[in-house]
Structure 1
Amino acid sequence: MILTVTPNPSLDRTYELRDLTRGAVLRATADRVDPGGKGINVSRAVAAAGHRTVAVAPLGGPEGALLARLLGEHGIEAAGVRITGSTRVNITLVEADGTLTKVNATGPEITESEAETLLETVRTWSSDADWIACCGSLPRGLPPEWYAELVARSHGAGARIALDSSGAALIAALRERPDVIKPNVEELSEAVGRPLATVGDAVKAAEVLRGRGAQAVLASLGADGQLLVDGSGTFFGSARVETVRSNVGAGDASLAGFLAAGGAGRPALAAAVAHGAAAVQLPGSVMPTPADIDLSSVVTTTDIPLDRVLTEPAP
């Protein structure tokens, strides 16, 4: 079972438009609402792959009630923590040419007692979990050290932790030695405080974060592929992608694939790449099913293309 923790979940409403014109009244050609937040996306991908998953998240107001119902419809057990604020609603506008415009709400403020209840809920479920995936930004009310406390308590209970966050929250958590962290290029660059222009730059940055406490680094390089840097070495994975429809949630699908495949080594990296490649070919934040996964398109290697210039370098 994979337990996910999403401190700032959302309802994600996606509207498809012919084009986006400022100041105009627009009519959507299609729309959908999905349970959102990075950890919840991981749970969605895990459930879509046929594995058991439990999602811990603060839920408030009618939006929180709808989110809980949608989780059940996706085959996800909801371990909701009731809060006084209302769960946020995020908006994604998708134009016909694939251009995405996102409006993310700030979300509710979490009280001290609600924050403690979240931690205790994770502890309660941790004994049943093969992995705990802690994902996303921290809402108002939670200090940057909150993830560090969660990692420490979870390790104390014998659980393995995957952390997908950024900024101060990521840096603070490194001292508690999360089992794997999953930054993208921009987050990797921010964490080490320098630009990343090549795959080799990304490898060096991942090694820095391992030196600061991360036991493994699964780094997404966007269209260029993914890196896994751990105690056994450095691995690079990539896959063919015919058409990109949406990259929303692709990183979360990758993490789900990685954890579901054991969370270590080249086979897990291959699963991560395959899940990410499948996700970008699906609309909105739809998560891939086993029928969408094509492991034959994935290549993993220890021959790292260090001099390859990143398609989307981090300034």
Structure 2
Amino acid sequence: MILTVTPNPSLDRTYEVPALARGEVLRATGERVDPGGKGVNVSRAVAAAGRRTVAVLPLGGAPGALVADLLDARGIEVAPVPVAGATRSNIALAETDGVLTKINAPGPELSPAEQESLLETVRRLSRDADWIACCGSLPRGLAPSWYAELVARAHRAGCRIALDTSGPALLRALPERPDVVKPNAEELARAVGRPLATVGDAVRASVVLRGLGARAVLASLGADGQLLVSGAGTWFATARVSAVRSNVGAGDASLAGFLIAGGAGPGALASAVAHGAAAVRLPGSEMPTPADLDPAAVTVTTEVPMDRVLKEPAP
């Protein structure tokens, strides 16, 4: 079982539009309503692969009730933590050329009692988990050290932790030695305080995060591929993608693929890239099923192209 923790879940509405035009009335060509949040997306991808998952998330108000209903309809077990504030609602506008514009609401502020209830719910469910995936931004009320406390408690319970967050929350958690962290290029650059212009820059930044405590770094470089840097070695992976429809949740699908395949080594990296590549070909934040995957399109190598210039450099 893969347990996911989403401290700031959302109700996500995605509209497909031909193009954005400020001040104009836009007519959508497609619409989706999905339960959102990075950990929620990981659970959705795990469930789409036919694996058991439990999603721990604070829920409040009508949007929170709808999130729970949508997850239940997808066969995902929900461990809700009731909160006084309403779960946030987000909007995404997906243009036909693959450009995505997102409007993310801040979400409710969690009280100290609600914060502790969230931690206690994770502790209670962790005994049955193969992995705990802690994902996304922290809502108002949670200190940057909250993820560090969750990682410490999970490790005391003997659980493996995958952490997908950024900024101070990531840096504060690293000394607790999360088993894998999953930054994108921008988050990786921000964590080490310097820009990334090449694949080699990303490798060196990943090594820095390992020096700060991360046991492994699964770094997403967008269209340039993914890196896995761990004590066992360094691998670089890419995948052929014919067309990008939406990149919403692609990184979350990638993390799910990594954990489903064991969470270590080149096989898990290949699974991560296959899931991420499949996700970008789907509408909105739809998660790929095994039928959507194309493992033959994935290449994994230990011969990392250190001098390759990134198509999407991180400032």
Same fold (TM over 0.5): yes
Q: Which residue of 1 aligns with 2:53?
A: 53
Summarize the alignment of residues 177-188 of structure 1 with structure 2, pairs less than 5 Å apart. Answer: 177-188=177-188
Q: Which residue of 1 aligns with 2:64?
A: 64
Q: Which residue of 2 aligns with 1:262?
A: 262
Q: CA deviation at 1:183?
A: 0.3
Q: CA deviation at 1:20?
A: 2.1
Code of the residue aligned with 1:115 in structure 2: it is Q
Q: Which residue of 2 aligns with 1:126?
A: 126
2:154 pairs with 1:154: yes
Q: CA deviation at 1:25?
A: 2.5
Alpha carbons 2:15, 2:32 under 8 Å: kept: yes
1:283 and 1:31 map into 2 onto residues whose CA distance is 9
Once the two structures are superposed, residues 114-171 of structure 1 have per-residue CA deviations (whole angstroms, 9 ceiling, x without a partner) of 0000000000000000000000000000000000000000000000000000000000
1:115 and 1:298 map into 2 onto residues whose CA distance is 40
Code of the residue aligned with 2:217 in structure 1: it is V
Q: CA deviation at 1:100?
A: 1.4
Q: Which residue of 2 aligns with 1:173?
A: 173
1:32 and 1:228 map into 2 onto residues whose CA distance is 33
Q: Which residue of 1 aligns with 2:193?
A: 193
Q: Which residue of 1 aligns with 2:163?
A: 163
Once the two structures are superposed, residues 249-304 of structure 1 have per-residue CA deviations (whole angstroms, 9 ceiling, x without a partner) of 10000000000000000100000010011011111111000001111111111101
Q: Which residue of 2 aligns with 1:204?
A: 204
Summarize the alignment of residues 221-232 of structure 1 with structure 2, pairs less than 5 Å apart. Answer: 221-232=221-232
Once the two structures are superposed, residues 161-195 of structure 1 have per-residue CA deviations (whole angstroms, 9 ceiling, x without a partner) of 00000000000000100000000000000000001
Helix, strand or coil for the counterpart of 1:90? strand
Q: Which residue of 2 aligns with 1:82?
A: 82
| Structure 1 unaligned spans of 5+ | none
Once the two structures are superposed, residues 37-77 of structure 1 have per-residue CA deviations (whole angstroms, 9 ceiling, x without a partner) of 00000000000000000000000001100000001111110
Q: Which residue of 2 aligns with 1:286?
A: 286
Summarize the alignment of residues 221-260 of structure 1 with structure 2, pairs less than 5 Å apart. Answer: 221-260=221-260
Helix, strand or coil for the counterpart of 1:275? helix
Superposition TM-score, scaled by structure 1 size? 0.99
Q: Which residue of 1 aligns with 2:313?
A: 313
Q: Which residue of 2 aligns with 1:14?
A: 14
2:216 and 2:313 map into 1 onto residues whose CA distance is 22
2:253 and 2:192 map into 1 onto residues whose CA distance is 25
Alpha carbons 2:248, 2:280 under 8 Å: kept: yes
Q: CA deviation at 1:97?
A: 2.6
RMSD: 0.7
2:281 and 2:44 map into 1 onto residues whose CA distance is 16
2:188 and 2:99 map into 1 onto residues whose CA distance is 25
2:231 pairs with 1:219: no
Q: CA deviation at 1:17?
A: 1.7
Alpha carbons 2:96, 2:245 under 8 Å: kept: no
2:275 pairs with 1:304: no
Summarize the alignment of residues 21-32 of structure 1 with structure 2, pairs less than 5 Å apart. Answer: 21-32=21-32
2:96 and 2:45 map into 1 onto residues whose CA distance is 25
2:118 and 2:100 map into 1 onto residues whose CA distance is 32
Helix, strand or coil for the counterpart of 1:98? coil
